[in-house]
Chain A
Amino acid sequence: MRLMTIALVAAFAGGSVGAFAAERTISQKGRTFSESDVTVKKGDTLTFVNDDNIAHNIISTSPGNEFNLGSQSPGASSSVTLSGAGEVTVLCAIHPRMKMTVTVTE
């Protein structure tokens, strides 16, 4: 019985995370994102790591994927799950030239 429970948990965990959602890490350094264009699937998670020596504030105002990850100190990381399909412009609200495009597919 105990083995079955563990197997079921693993199956649900695999079904809800491993099989459908992925995580992608983006670095911020020199006031630049490590990637300018990425493509992910709906439900995937993007993690932004601040490898700079100044604070950043990642935001998106793209319809369906609006978010504001707040002030991010050097060394900190923040994640966001993208829930809508479409093109998302991600930028730093403090340094608006820091910009990248995320294409979210179904």
Chain B
Amino acid sequence: MMRCSSRVLLTMASAITVMMIAPHGQAAEPTTGAVPRNTPASTAELKAQYRRPETIPFPKDNPYTVEKAALGKKLYFDTRLSGANLLSCASCHSPAYGFGDGQPRGVGHGMKQLGRRSPTIVNAAFGEIFMWDGRAGSLEEQALGPIRADVEMNMPIDQLLDKLKAIPEYAPVFKAAFPKEGMTPDTIAKAIATYERTVVSGRAPFDAWIEGDEKAISEDAKRGFVLFNGKGGCQNCHSGWNFTDDSFHDIGLSDADVGRGKFLPAVVKMQQAFKTPGLREITRRGPYMHDGSVTTIEAVIEHYNTGGVDRPSRSELIKPLALSAQEKADLVAFMKTLTSDMDPTTVPVLPR
């Protein structure tokens, strides 16, 4: 599926920054290839790879409209999308926690703990594939999954339609967003996906440095950037402006969850492999990893320094790094420059 066909310049009230629509855009390009040399020239080249895009990509079959994003935001924050009327999308993907939930693992229907950490939706517009194990190929496909899952929001979609149709003020909002289709499972998914695409990380100190302000980040952080792209090898997976390759890797955590291996059981390297998360707004998004097992950024760096559990499925990119205490501190300093001063998100008034 070729997904990106339009781009939006938006002032995002909920999230974060200013971006723009332009036709026929492409998503942020992945970066690939060998680790560049750490010369001044290559540092400049490296910095160019991390320059933030000015537009948000929207798919051809679900272009941006103000009305659609407004509807999607209402649905996103509406707890009535759950069977018990207690959980909304925002319960697990809350702006208060960098659009995650701050918990090691998500909590679903009946307050039962789920198997994996709630991933952020920040910069989902730029994603290639969704969920920790990649089982959703688009945000539209993803949007209805947690609603209907009995362990998550526990809301069968046919019953959800009846429920929303019984809320009079929803009908005109759907009509404004989808004049022809009205309320259907497809339009619910499209609206939520459209709102989610507007949630983009703000300009962080790192961006100012990338754009030429040498005082925007500390010398420690600059050294950390070089380590990130050099000795640490972090950019092998955390590549590009959103710091992800949208690929799957076993990074040697002790959790037994097979992750992507469920769909590729014969591929050794996909056992216990999970999608690389982006690193934007990272200090707001702990605890870390798919299982929430690592509580601090310092501990994340230490995990990669040791290389985790050595097993056949572990990525060939993961190996002990022998980082010094200063190098680890520099990497942490760099990571902290990726968090922006996010504007508060305005919670919508919901239809009644």
Give the interface of A toward B (CB within 8 A). 30-32, 54-55, 57, 68, 70-71, 89, 93-97, 101
Contacts and interface: CB of A to CB of B under 8 A. Distances in A.
B208 interface: no
Given A30-B32, A30-B33, A71 B266 contact: yes
A97 B246 contact: yes
A55 B269 contact: yes
Given A97-B245, A97-B247, A89 B1 contact: yes
Nearest to A31: B32
Contact of A94 (B30, B128, B248): B248
B314 to A, nearest CB: 13
Interface in B219-262: 245-248, 260
B18 to A, nearest CB: 26
A57 B264 contact: yes
Given A31-B32, A89-B1, A94 B246 contact: no
B264 A93 contact: yes
B270 A96 contact: no
Contact of B270 (A30, A32, A57): A57
Contacts of A95: 245-247
Given A31-B32, A55-B269, A96 B246 contact: yes
Size band of the interface chain B makes with A: 20 to 34
Interface in B1-41: 1-2, 30, 32-33
Contacts, number: 53
Interface in B305-352: 316-317
Contact of B128 (A54, A97, A101): A97
Nearest to B240: A97
For the complex, would chain A's binding face be called helix, strand, loop or mixed by DSSP majority? Answer: loop
Interface of B: 1-2, 30, 32-33, 128-129, 134, 245-248, 260, 263-264, 266-270, 273, 316-317
18 contacts: A31-B32, A32-B32, A54-B316, A54-B317, A57-B264, A57-B270, A68-B264, A71-B266, A71-B270, A93-B134, A93-B248, A93-B270, A94-B270, A94-B273, A95-B246, A95-B247, A96-B128, A96-B129
Given A30-B32, A31-B30, A101-B2, A71 B268 contact: yes
Nearest to A89: B1
A96 B267 CA distance: 15
A57 to B, nearest CB: 6
Given A57-B267, A57-B270, A70-B267, A94 B247 contact: yes
Contacts of B245: 31, 95, 97
A96 B264 contact: no
Contacts of B2: 101
A93 B275 CA distance: 11
A11 B317 CA distance: 51
Given A55-B269, A93-B264, 4 more contacts: A31-B32, A70-B267, A94-B248, A96-B247
A71 B268 CA distance: 8
Contacts of B273: 94
Contacts of B30: 31, 97
Nearest to B317: A54
Contacts of A55: 267, 269
B263 A93 contact: yes
Nearest to B3: A99
B333 to A, nearest CB: 29
A67 to B, nearest CB: 13
A71 B267 contact: yes
Contacts of A30: 32-33
Nearest to A59: B264
